[in-house]
Amino acid sequence: MKKLKWAFTGTWVLAVMMITLFAGSVNDVESEDLRSWLPANAESTRALDLAEAQFPSNDPEDLLLIYARDSGLTEADKAAVTADAAALGVRIPPQPSDDGKAMLLIMPFEPAKSTLEAVRSVVADAQPSGLTARLTGAPAAEADFDQAFDSLDTTLLVVTVGVVAVLLLVTYRSPVLLFIPLLCAGIASLTAGGLVYWAAKNFGLVVDPQSAGILTVLVFGAATDYAMLLIARYREELHLHADRHRAMGLALRRSLPAIAASAATVVLALLTLLFADLNSTRGLGPVAAIGIVSALAVMTTLLPALLVVCGRWAFWPVIPRYTPDVQPESAPAGFWNRLAGFVSRHPRAIWMSTAAALLAVAFGATSLTAGLRQADSFTTKPESVAGFELLAKHYPAGSAEPVDVFVPATSGQAAAAKLSAVAGVHHVEETEVRGQWARIPVVLSVDPDGTEAEQTVAHLRETVHSLDAQGLVGGSIAQRLDQSTTMDRDLRIVLPLILLVVLIVLIVLLRSLIAPVLLLASVVLSFGAALGLSAGVYHLMGFPAIDKTVLLNGFLFLVALGVDYTIFLMTRAREEIASVGHREGITKALGVTGGVITSAGIVLAATFSVLAVLPIVFMVQLGVLVAVGVLLDTFVVRSLLVPALLLHVGPRSWWPSKLAS
C-alpha cells in the first residue's frame, strides 16, 4: 500500500476532474416520454405512433378550469367565470354542468405564451366568496409531477448525506473517520452519475426520475456498507501490526472477497431487470448496477488509500494501538458473543420459532391492494388531482381523459355505433377521418383512474378487434392498462430470475448446495415478513394500495441486499470453520461480525428510509419496505435464523465441499 496509496489517490483526483469537466448531470438525460416506459409493441404505444403519423397536430394541450359551488352557481359566480374566460382569451364558451353546480372552461395552454401561475392569478382575482376554482387537465398534472420530481435529486442528496454523516459519527465517534467515508461515498455517487450520463448519451440507456433518485440512495448506502466492513477489519489489523500499510493490505485482502461477492450478487440481480418488458424497469437495472460498481471501485481503492495516508490518527480520539499480545478473542465477551453463545446452545428452538414468527408476520401483506391509482400517487393532494375529482363529480367521469380509438376509415361509422353500446361508455364523440384512418374519441361514464375504467378499455379493445384486427385503442387509460399488464408479466419473469441468480452466486461462493438453498429460503421469508410489516406502516400512513413497481423493486433490493449480510457472515464463517470446526466457526463468526454488520444494516436502512421524505407515494413505499426488510435481515435473519438453522443442520450444510466432513 505504500506505493499504491498515492497511485489510487492521484487516479481518482484525475477521474473526478474528468467527470466534472466532461459529464453532465443525470437530470439532463432523464426521459419522461411515454416510450421510455411502455414497450414499443404495447397497443397504446402503437396507437400513439399512429396518432402522430396520421393525425399530427400543433394544437396545445387543454388546461381545464373547473368552478363549482355545492349549493348551486349564483349569477355572480357565472359572471366571474365569464370574466375569467375573457381575461384568459378562452374562445370556447363556458360549459355548465347538468346539475347547475359547476362550470368548465377549456383553455388551450401554451407554456411559451403563459404560465400556470399567471392563470391562477387571473382565476384568484375578484373571486366570489364560496366559489371553488381548480386547474386540472394534462398541463396541470404534468406541472404537479414535475414539481414533485424537481426537488427529488436535491432533497435526496442533502437528506442522504445528513443521515449517513450522523450515523457514521455515532458509529465511530471520530470527525475524521466520518469525513473520509462520506467523501468517498460522494465521489462514488459523482462517478456513477457521470457513467450513467455517458451511457444514456451514447448507448440509449433509459433514465427516468425514479431510477435517478434510487441511484443516489443506493450508491450512498452500498458505499457506506463497504466502508464499514473494510474499516472494521482494518481496525482489527492495526492492533496486530505496527505498520499501517501492512495492516491495510491484510484488511483489504481479507475483506475484499466478501465485499466483491456482495457487489457481484447485487449487480447480477440488478441486471435481471434487462429481461423486463417495461422500459423504465429495464433501464433501472444498468443504472443501479453502475452505481454498485462505482461504490465498489471507490471503496476498495480510494478509501484504503486515504485511510493509510491519514494514518492511525484518522480514528481519533479512539486510536487503535499496536497491541499484538491482546488477541480479539481474549477480549471481554460483548453482546454479540453472548448472543452467539445463546444461539449455539438452542439452535433448533431458535430457528423454528423465528421462522414461525416471520411467517406469521408475512400474512399482513394480504391486507394490501396491488395497484396504485394515479390520483393517489402523491402524499398530499395537488391541485390537478383535486380539480380532477371536482370535474368527475359534476361532469361525465371520463371527460378529462377520453379514450382514443383508431380504425380504418371504412369502419369508422360501424365502430362508433358498436363502441357506444359498450358498458361503461358515456358517449362517443364525432369521428375524425384523415386519409385511411378514423379517430373516435370515447368518453367513459366510470372513474378513469380506477380498475373499472381499465376493464372498460379492455372491452373496447375486444369490440374494436372483432370489427377490424388493425384497430387500436389508446389514450392515458389504455396506457395505464398496458403498464399494469406489462408489470404483471415482468413480475412473473424477473422475480424467479433474481432468485436463480442469487442461488448460483451463493453456490459458487460457498462451494455448497445445501447452505445456499437454506439461505435463499431465509431471504424469501424475510421479504414476506418485511412486506407484512410494511403493510401495517402503509395503512397507518394512509396508503393501503401498493404500486406494483414497489413489489418488483422491493423484492430485488431486499433479496440482493438482504443476502449481502448473510454473505458477510458466511465468508467469515468459512474462514473460521477451516480452523475450529463447524459449530465453533459459526458461533465465532456471528460474534465477530455482529457489531459491524448491524451498524452497516442500520446505515443502509436509514439511507433507504430517506425516500420517505419525498412527496411521491411509491417512492415512500419503496423506502419503507427496503428499510424494514434490511432491519429484519440484520437483527433477525442474519443474527438468529441463519446461524441457528446452520447449526441445527450441522456440517451437512456445506455439502459437497470438504467442510461437510
Q: Can you read off the three cell numbers belonging to residue 23? A: 459529464
What would the pLDDT profile of 37-86 be if each residue is shown by its tens digit?
788 788 988 998 888 888 876 556 788 889 999 999 999 999 998 988 88
Q: How many CA atoms lie within 13 A of 168 on its CB side?
A: 29
**3-state class of 544 per DSSP?**
coil
In a domain, 134, yes or no: yes
pLDDT of amino acid 498:
92
In a domain, 469, yes or no: yes
Please tell me the least confidently modeled range out of 36-40, 392-396, 581-585, 631-635: 36-40
CA 653 – CA 582 distance, rounded (Å): 9
**3-state class of 463 per DSSP?**
helix
Average pLDDT rounded to a whole number, residues 558-566: 81
Please tell me the least confidently modeled range out of 161-165, 193-197, 431-435, 503-507: 161-165
Average pLDDT rounded to a whole number, residues 394-422: 87
End of a domain among 140, 160, 184?
A: 140
Residue ranges of E strands in 54-131: 61-68, 95-96, 102-109
CA 186 – CA 181 distance, rounded (Å): 9
Phi, psi of 616 (to 5 degrees): -115, 125
Phi, psi of 427 (to 5 degrees): -165, 160
Please tell me the least confidently modeled range out of 122-136, 138-152, 185-199, 465-479: 138-152
CA 188 – CA 217 distance, rounded (Å): 12
End of a domain among 423, 446, 474?
A: 474
Please tell me the least confidently modeled range out of 77-86, 120-129, 525-534: 120-129
pLDDT of amino acid 247:
87
User: Do 188 and 227 contact (CB within 8 A), yes or no?
Assistant: no
What would the pLDDT profile of 211-240 be if each residue is shown by its tens digit?
877 888 889 888 988 888 888 888 888 888
**Does a cis peptide bond (omega within 30 degrees of 0) precede residue 656?**
yes
The C-alpha angle with vertex 115 and arms to 112 and 121, in degrees rounded to 5, equals: 150
Residue 447, judged by CB atoms within 10 A of its CB (0-12, 13-18, 19+), counts as middle
36 confidence band (pLDDT: 50, 70, 90): low
DSSP code at position 378: B
CA 69 – CA 72 distance, rounded (Å): 5
Quick check: 578 pLDDT over 60? yes
pLDDT of amino acid 581:
85
Phi, psi of 513 (to 5 degrees): -110, -30
**3-state class of 474 per DSSP?**
strand
pLDDT of amino acid 331:
40
In a domain, 427, yes or no: yes
Quick check: 155 pLDDT over 80? no
Average pLDDT rounded to a whole number, residues 245-270: 88
Helix extents (H) in 173-208: 175-203
Sequence-distant (6+) residues with CB within 8 A of 162 are none
User: Do 45 and 34 contact (CB within 8 A), yes or no?
Assistant: yes
In a domain, 564, yes or no: no
Can you tell me which residue has the cell 447480477?
268
CA 161 – CA 179 distance, rounded (Å): 11
Q: How many CA atoms lie within 13 A of 83 on its CB side?
A: 13
Q: Can you read off the three cell numbers belonging to residue 595? A: 457489531
Give the CATH number of the domain where residue 87 resides.
Answer: 3.30.70.240
CA 116 – CA 254 distance, rounded (Å): 59
Residue ranges of E strands in 172-313: none
325 confidence band (pLDDT: 50, 70, 90): low
From the list 604, 4, 599, the residue with the least C-alpha distance to 307 is 4
User: Do 83 and 131 contact (CB within 8 A), yes or no?
Assistant: no
Q: Can you read off the three cell numbers belonging to residue 294? A: 462505482
From the list 624, 614, 629, the residue with the least C-alpha distance to 210 is 614
Q: Can you read off the three cell numbers belonging to residue 341? A: 453463545
pLDDT of amino acid 314:
82
Q: How many CA atoms lie within 13 A of 77 on its CB side?
A: 20
The helix, strand and coil proportions of the chain, stated in percent and rounded to the nearest 5, come to 70, 10, 20
Amino acid at 371: G
Q: Can you read off the three cell numbers belonging to residue 658? A: 470438504
b/e for 311-323, b at 16 or more Cβ within 10 A? eeebbeeeebeee
Most confidently modeled range among 3-12, 18-27, 235-244, 268-277: 268-277
Give the CATH number of the domain where residue 433 resides.
Answer: 3.30.70
User: Do 618 and 331 contact (CB within 8 A), yes or no?
Assistant: no
Q: Within the chain, how many helices (H) and strands (E) appear?
A: 22, 11
pTM score: 0.83
151 confidence band (pLDDT: 50, 70, 90): low
438 vs 335, residue with greater confidence: 438
In a domain, 289, yes or no: no
pLDDT of amino acid 1:
64
User: Do 522 and 566 contact (CB within 8 A), yes or no?
Assistant: yes
From the list 605, 543, 613, 548, the residue with the least C-alpha distance to 152 is 613
Sign of the Cα pseudo-torsion (354, 359, 361, 365, in order): positive
Sequence-distant (6+) residues with CB within 8 A of 646 are 515, 518, 573, 586, 653
CA 247 – CA 233 distance, rounded (Å): 9
In a domain, 163, yes or no: no
Quote the domain boundaries for residue 102: 61-140
pLDDT of amino acid 16:
82
CA 59 – CA 434 distance, rounded (Å): 16
pLDDT of amino acid 112:
60
Average pLDDT rounded to a whole number, residues 381-405: 83
b/e for 235-248, b at 16 or more Cβ within 10 A? bbbbbbbeebeebb
**3-state class of 473 per DSSP?**
strand
Number of domains in the chain: 2
pLDDT of amino acid 330:
38
In a domain, 111, yes or no: yes
pLDDT of amino acid 332:
38
CA 558 – CA 578 distance, rounded (Å): 30
In a domain, 125, yes or no: yes
End of a domain among 140, 163, 180?
A: 140
Q: Left if phi > 0, otherwise alpha if psi is -120 to 50, otherwise beta: which for 479? A: alpha
Strands 369-370 vs 545-546: parallel, antiparallel or unpaired: parallel
320 vs 260, residue with greater confidence: 260
Q: Can you read off the three cell numbers belonging to residue 161? A: 448525506
The C-alpha angle with vertex 141 and arms to 135 and 147, in degrees rounded to 5, equals: 105
